[in-house]
Amino acid sequence: EWEQLREHDVLFLVTINAPNNPPPQANTPKFGGKKGGRGKRDAGGGEEDHDFAARYGVTRVRGCEVYELVDEDGVVLNDPLKPDQRKTGRAGDARTLRVRLDPAQYHADMRSGEDVYGGFNLLVRRKAKENNFRSILETIRDLMSMAAVGKAVPP
């Protein structure tokens, strides 16, 4: 599945520092209070867990956008204009992801003096069908730009 990453796919870089006490597996309280009902559900169908980050040691999350997936021979694997057609197949199992970071967040992180980008230890990918929020936000931004308002939004 990771071999199918395409340009513009959004990934999340996460830093997890595991807590000293592992989270409880059994006897986890149910949401919903006295009536025993279900708690609020998140967009993915799971229950909301506002303490998740603290319980599991999630300290940082940053988004990034894929622009290249490279194999061990340095061949770009996700270029739609030049598909990899080597008879020997893709080289090795190791892959290098080249990504674009949010420049404003990167600048803020560098000003803080902490080594934020050296400590990521988890890469998270969402399902492609659920991973469209960036394109939706860009469309809304484009529609609301001054040049497009008169054309897209009726008076």
Please state, in angstroms and rounded to a whole number, the distance separating the CA atoms of residues 73 and 126.
27
Look at residue 153 in the predicted model and tell me its pLDDT.
Answer: 53
pTM (2 d.p.): 0.65
Token couple for 91: 């080289």
User: What is the residue-level pLDDT of the chain in tens, covering all 155 positions?
Assistant: 777 888 888 899 999 988 776 656 545 555 544 444 444 545 555 566 778 888 888 999 999 999 998 888 888 887 777 777 777 777 778 888 999 999 999 999 999 988 889 989 999 987 766 766 666 777 777 766 656 555 555 55
Q: For the chain, what are the domain ranges? A: 2-152
Burial class (CB in 10 A: 0-12, 13-18, 19+), 106: middle
Rounding to the nearest 10 degrees, give the CA dihedral for residues 120, 123, 126, 127: 170
Q: Answer yes or no: are the C-beta atoms of 15 and 115 closer than 8 Å.
A: no
- pLDDT value at position 34? 47
Residue 150 three-state SS? helix
For residue 112 the two structure tokens come to: 């803080």
Cα–Cα separations (whole angstroms), residue 68 to 12, 93, 96, 138, 150: 16, 16, 8, 21, 37
What is the predicted pLDDT for the residue at 33?
Answer: 46
The type of residue at 149 is: V
Between β-strands 58-70 and 10-16, what pairing exists: parallel, antiparallel or unpaired? Answer: antiparallel
Per-residue pLDDT at 150: 58
Write down the pLDDT at residue 106: 92
